[in-house]
């Protein structure tokens, strides 16, 4: 049962060949067996999950499912509020946080659709690292290789889905935080167009997004998450629950292998991205290599922006707890606190210029192919590819948060023991076409629902 996708589970429930009770029991057993090794989950509500599964089974038996995800186990990122569960935001300083009083819009939509929200997932401090390192949760490890990073900040969501603990999860993305861990863990993820998934509190560059093993599950999850919320400022969107693969014949696709700042793409990653481009060519697309859209550094300016946001969050903590975070985040907050308004304005001007040039470079293409990140992976205990500058490896992902464009990550191979993600970028508002193109690539590759050896090897005999 743990190998089945959400789409397959729903089909089995409808046919009466599986019960949500058995699936939830299997899910909890698998979490108990594997979570100690990968440290992906906290606040596992076993009793509540089994009660929800019993109620779901009764609805399916009566032929009256609550919604399109009725009885499907789902994991929610630490930073997304779930009624009755704690939000630590990865911080040791919030160790005694009480349970949230209400669901955030993404969690509310999942619950209304019948999903069983049985656990929260780990993340780095305040979500400001592309890593599974956290003062509050410890180190989250990659199921494909426990010595390697999960990426972040939706670290536990990706690790749990990759290990087969649950078929679907949601995370949030400020600079790549659903796409980076999906790349590390061999999964599918979507950072949707800004405003497509209502969320609170409002942020100009943070969005929620699905993390799944198949494109079909990402589409199904988007059809639920994109529904409007009366309290949120984002409009939502009408998304279908299923999509046929897009006919790519004649589509013009850009191949982007340099943004113009940040680390050069590693040869083994470039080879896999070029191989993915050949898949698109084989499907009839016209693939053209693009020049770097930028000729000036912007990543350190973006890091300055993150530093100011982090400093603001630290300032909201009790004064005697502000030191209870990772040293790299303390340095980040200190830099943000020391920044002058003039320096911040200058940094934001550079970031704005970079996102406009990036969006302009994508114009004229139906889609753009790029690495999700320039290297395959780095050690589990590291704050980033370059721990001294932990945001330097987000050049291919972060500008989409600034421009509002959607970006999907899809597994496209391995470099050593680490999966590598292909990023598929579309125009703002083009989420449906982007997911249909992703489905075409996935079908051509025969990808989806691959599991690491750990997933079976870690289970006691």
Given 153, 157, 223, 307, the catalytic residue: 153
Report which of 165, 265, 196 is spatially closest to residue 408, judged by C-alpha positions. Answer: 196
The CB-side HSE value for 286 (13 A sphere, CA atoms) comes to 6
Query: What are the residues whose beta carbons fall under 8 Å from the beta carbon of 340, sequence distance 6 or more?
Result: none
Would you tell me the crossing angle of helices 215-225 and 105-112 to the nearest 10 degrees? 110
Given 5, 77, 154, 191, the catalytic residue: 77
Given 56, 157, 177, 258, the catalytic residue: 177
Tell me, yes or no, if 77 is annotated catalytic: yes
Cα separation of 80 and 62, whole Å? 32
User: What DSSP character marks residue 291?
Assistant: P
| Residues 276/412, Cβ–Cβ less than 8 Å | yes
Neighbour count for residue 231 (Cβ, 10 Å) = 10
| The residue to which tokens 């061999």 are assigned | 186
Integer CA distances (angstroms), 285 to 254, 264, 445, in order: 10, 26, 15
Centroid of chain to Cα 451: 18
Helical H segments across 152-212, by residue range:
155-162, 179-185
Tell me, yes or no, if 172 is annotated catalytic: no
Which 3 state secondary structure label does DSSP give 23?
helix
The set of catalytic residues is 77, 153, 177
């Amino acid at each position: 049962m743990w190998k089945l996708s959400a789409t397959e589970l729903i089909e089995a429930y409808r046919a009466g060949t599986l019960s949500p009770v058995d699936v939830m029991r299997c899910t909890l057993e698998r979490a108990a067996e594997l979570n100690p090794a990968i440290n992906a989950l906290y606040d596992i509500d076993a009793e509540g999950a089994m009660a929800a599964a019993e109620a779901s089974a009764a609805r399916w038996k009566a032929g009256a499912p609550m919604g399109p995800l009725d009885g499907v186990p789902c994991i929610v990122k630490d930073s997304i509020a779930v009624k009755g569960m704690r939000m630590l935001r990865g911080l040791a300083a919030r160790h005694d946080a009480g349970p949230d009083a209400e669901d955030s819009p993404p969690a509310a939509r999942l619950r209304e659709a019948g999903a069983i929200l049985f656990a929260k997932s780990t993340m780095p401090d305040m979500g400001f690292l592309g890593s599974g390192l956290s003062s509050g949760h410890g180190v989250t490890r990659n199921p494909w290789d426990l010595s390697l990073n999960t990426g972040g900040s939706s670290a536990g969501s990706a690790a749990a889905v990759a290990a087969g603990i649950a078929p679907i999860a949601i995370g949030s993305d400020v600079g790549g935080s659903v796409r980076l861990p999906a790349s590390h863990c061999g999964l599918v993820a979507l950072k949707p167009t800004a405003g497509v998934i209502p969320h609170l509190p409002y942020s100009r560059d943070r969005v929620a997004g699905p993390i799944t093993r198949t494109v079909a599950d990402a589409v199904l999850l988007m059809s639920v998450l994109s529904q409007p919320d009366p309290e949120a400022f984002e409009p939502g969107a009408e998304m279908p629950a299923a999509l046929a693969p897009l006919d790519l014949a004649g589509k013009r696709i850009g191949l982007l292998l340099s943004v113009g700042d940040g680390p050069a793409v590693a040869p083994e990653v470039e080879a896999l991205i070029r191989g993915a481009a050949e898949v698109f060519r084989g499907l009839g697309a016209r693939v053209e290599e693009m020049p770097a859209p930028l000729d000036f550094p912007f990543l350190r300016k973006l890091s300055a922006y993150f530093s100011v946001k982090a400093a603001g969050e630290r300032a909201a903590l009790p004064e005697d707890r502000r030191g209870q975070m990772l040293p790299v985040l303390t340095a980040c907050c200190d830099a943000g606190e020391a920044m002058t308004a003039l320096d911040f304005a200058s940094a934001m001007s550079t970031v704005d210029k970079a996102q406009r040039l990036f969006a302009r470079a994508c114009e004229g293409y139906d889609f753009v192919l790029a690495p999700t990140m320039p290297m395959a992976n780095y050690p589990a205990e590291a704050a980033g590819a370059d721990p001294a500058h932990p945001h330097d490896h987000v050049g291919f992902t972060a500008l989409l948060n600034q421009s509002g464009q959607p970006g999907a990550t899809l597994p496209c191979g391995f470099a050593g023991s680490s999966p590598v993600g292909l990023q598929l970028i579309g125009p703002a508002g083009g989420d449906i076409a982007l997911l249909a193109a992703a489905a075409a690539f996935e079908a051509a590759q025969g990808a989806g629902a691959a599991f690491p050896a750990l997933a079976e090897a870690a289970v006691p005999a």
